[in-house]
Amino acid sequence: MSTRHNLGRVLPTAAILLAAFAAGIGLWLSMHLFSRDAPPTQAAMMYPEPRPVPPFSLTRADGKPLTREDWKGRWTVAFFGFTNCPDICPNTLGVMRDVHKQLAAQGLADKVRFDFISVDPERDTPETLARYVGFFSPDFVGATGKDDQLQPLTRALGLLYTRTPTGNGDYSVDHSASIVIIGPQPALVGLFRPPLDAAAITADLVTLAGKP
């Protein structure tokens, strides 16, 4: 299958990098200056104060909308990547699959949802997303959207993605490797950074999901 695509939609890398850098610095400062006040966790880096998630609207692999309302009422772990990713994305989703299984074994499967959001909508059609996400778990939600839908959300979550031309009309996608943790408000409360350990992540989510 050809991987050639129209590069006219490639984002201005410098602008994205600048915006993501500013957002990332804010999250880094809050985390490192005040992390002593955050609850102890094994793997999660928790922010001292929840950060509200802005309204957003994406399209799920099944054609239904994914909005902020879907993140209300339970914990969400969300990872932003793309299906053609050679290593980071499949490895991360493999860890998320193991965490999901461990939570299910403890009767907490309904307390935490798992979302994979593609930042490569040009290639990641609904059918591609459904097949890719379903390989890891039928309970995982796959979604994507246009750049003007994705950018405000990724920036609010302190995440980065860029597309870089590789020649012959192709492009590569670079993206953040962290998994974000969304509380049931919904609000950004922390993240899991590589290297990812399924047992430690499970322990943290058991602690979080057990909160009243």
Looking at the chain, the whole-number percentage of residues with pLDDT higher than 70 is: 81
* HSE-CB of 124 using CA atoms within 13 angstroms: 28
Please check the confidence at residue 17 and state whether its pLDDT lies above 90.
Answer: no
Mean per-residue pLDDT of the chain: 86
**Distance from C-alpha of 8 to C-alpha of 92, rounded to nearest angstrom:** 30
Reference 108, options 203, 11, 5; nearest CA is: 203
**pLDDT higher than 60, residue 12:** no
Domain carrying residue 105 = 7-209
- Binned at pLDDT 50, 70 and 90, residue 130 comes out as very high
- What pLDDT digit, counting tens, does each position of 28-72 carry? 444 443 344 555 799 999 999 999 999 999 999 999 999 999 999
Residue 2 is assigned to a structural domain of this protein? no
The answer to whether the bond into 65 is cis (omega within 30° of 0) is: no
CATH code of the domain in which 142 resides: 3.40.30.10
Note whether residue 1 is domain-resident. Answer: no
Provide the number of structural domains found in the chain: 1
User: Is 180 a member of any domain?
Assistant: yes
* Choice between 194 and 8, residue whose per-residue pLDDT is larger: 194
